[in-house]
A and B are shown apart, each in its own frame.
Chain A
Amino acid sequence: DVKVTQSSRYLVKRTGEKVFLECVQDMDHENMFWYRQDPGLGLRLIYFSYDVKMKEKGDIPEGYSVSREKKERFSLILESASTNQTSMYLCASRPRRQQAYGYTFGSGTRLTVV
């Protein structure tokens, strides 16, 4: 069974902390994505990566950075957490050639910043 695994289901962090959200996929997918999900707003793309060490900004990159040192791992970094970054964070991956429907999502990390 193919998987996208997010290391934490729930996280509580303090304002100003540096936060790392980890995502690992076992499908050898080239593309990986970080979305955040908020009520009434749906999923919004933060960053995506189409190859190792490659990244592109999504729609809401402010306050976030990413790292992809290995093909299977994609990390989201909150340099200085703020309360408006309290959200559900979803990682996804897909093969390069299946742009339309090849996405697999992780179960999400619910981050609360206090």
Chain B
Amino acid sequence: QKEVEQDPGPLSVPEGAIVSLNCTYSNSAFQYFMWYRQYSRKGPELLMYTYSSGNKEDGRFTAQVDKSSKYISLFIRDSQPSDSATYLCATPYGNKLVFGAGTILRVKS
């Protein structure tokens, strides 16, 4: 079992839709959770990070962590074609980042 599980998609939605991206994890020791966005032919860029259970909002993006069920989510409101990218959940553990497989998101205009 991978430490962080993420459905690779692809997920295709119309412009303006609400997008829900999800990951589950197995290790209760994981404390911080990040979402990275990776455009084609680019490296991952940090989008959001959270520490505690609950929601964190940044513009159209909301990160949600439920430590009791080991479930993390990223919601994108009013999705735009420019949001088309691969979204990776990640958590630091020791000296490394542990990544999910990444979900490919396509927002159609």
Give me the interface of A with B, judged by CB distance under 8 Å: 4, 9, 31, 33, 39-45, 48, 50, 56, 58-59, 90, 92, 99-101, 103, 105-108
Q: Are B96 and A33 in contact (CB under 8 A)?
A: yes
| Contact among A31, A42, A59, A101 with B102 in the assembled complex (CB-CB below 8 Å) | A42
Q: Are B96 and A48 in contact (CB under 8 A)?
A: yes
Chain B positions 15 through 42: 1 when the CB is less than 8 Å from some CB of chain A, otherwise 0: 0000000000000000110100000011
A33 to B8: give the CA distance in the assembly, Å.
24
Which of the segments B44-52, B62-70, B76-84 contacts the partner chain? B44-52
Q: Are A90 and B46 in contact (CB under 8 A)?
A: no
Cβ of B6 to closest chain A Cβ, rounded Å = 7
A6 (CB) vs chain B CBs: closest residue? B43
Give me 11 other A-B pairs in contact (C-beta within 8 A), A40-B8, A107-B42 excluded. A4-B43, A43-B44, A43-B88, A50-B95, A59-B96, A90-B44, A100-B34, A101-B49, A103-B46, A107-B43, A108-B41
Give me the interface of B with A, judged by CB distance under 8 Å: 4, 6, 8, 31-32, 34, 41-46, 49, 51, 88, 90, 92, 95-97, 99-102
Q: Top 9 A-B pairs ranked by shortest CB distance?
A: A105-B43, A42-B99, A100-B32, A43-B99, A42-B101, A101-B49, A45-B96, A100-B92, A107-B43
| Contact among A42, A50, A99, A108 with B88 in the assembled complex (CB-CB below 8 Å) | A42
Cβ of A25 to closest chain B Cβ, rounded Å = 12
Known contacts A41-B101, A42-B100, A107-B41, A101 near B95 by CB under 8 Å: no
Which chain B residues border A100 with CB–CB below 8 Å? 31-32, 34, 49, 51, 92
Known contacts A39-B8, A43-B88, A90-B44, A58 near B96 by CB under 8 Å: yes
